[in-house]
Amino acid sequence: MTASAPRVARWLSVLWLAVVWVLLWGSFTLLTILGGVLVGVAVTALFRTATPPNPLPLRPVRLLALLGFVARDLVVSSYGVSFQTLRYGPRARGAILELPLLTSSDRVVAVIAGAYTLSPGTIVLQIDHVSGLWYIYVLGPRDARQIEEARTSALEMQRRVLSAFGTPDEIAEARRMLLGRRGAP
């Protein structure tokens, strides 16, 4: 890790704040862009965040793949929820499941929980850092087979987030876990 990592993180924050500022104004003029950078510098100077200990790895291709997966999942799962509504309605069932959490990084856990909860029909209920477990609610499963399918798809989401942000060890562990599940009868 280089000494300039916190500085890079800060300039990324400034860039993000400037983009938000320009989008709020809705016009790409020199004035709004400069104003955005000024606001970004002022905000990051006034509200200093604790410097994250380790910068997350930047893997652009895998990050794009993750974004694509989440977008596709948003559409597919929306129709899943609509199907549950129309087909079962008041007789719809759900399940609360316990899953192994393969990372201890707060920020990666936040991305996993955010991505999984954004997907329709699923919610992260509880995260237990100490035991390394997370608990999810899934709308739809009615029997043991469908419960295991829901479990696999949650682990798949975890694997995809880890492959974008996780350490090599965590990625290998996530892959091994999924392979073990798919190989099981």
Can you give the binding site for other proteins, defined by CB under 8 A?
A: 20, 23-24, 26-28, 74-75, 77-78, 81-82, 84-86, 89-98, 113-126, 128, 135, 137, 139, 141-143, 146-147
Question: What's the Cα-to-Cα distance from 73 to each of 4, 141, 143, rounded to whole Å?
Answer: 37, 17, 22
CB of 168 to other proteins, least distance (A): 27
CB of 153 to other proteins, least distance (A): 15
Nearer Cβ to other proteins (31/86): 86
How many CB atoms are closer than 10 A to CB 164? 23
Nearer Cβ to other proteins (108/171): 108
CB of 50 to other proteins, least distance (A): 20
CA angle 51, 57, 60 (to 5 degrees): 125
CB of 86 to other proteins, least distance (A): 8
Residue with tokens 């129709």: 79
Nearer Cβ to other proteins (149/169): 149
Residue 23 to residue 150: CA distance in whole angstroms: 38
Residue with tokens 């995260």: 127
Nearer Cβ to other proteins (145/182): 145
CB of 172 to other proteins, least distance (A): 26
**Could you give the residue ranges of the DSSP H alpha helices within 50-143?**
60-87, 106-118
Nearer Cβ to other proteins (64/75): 75
166 Cβ neighbours under 8 A, 6+ residues apart: 102, 103, 105, 108, 174
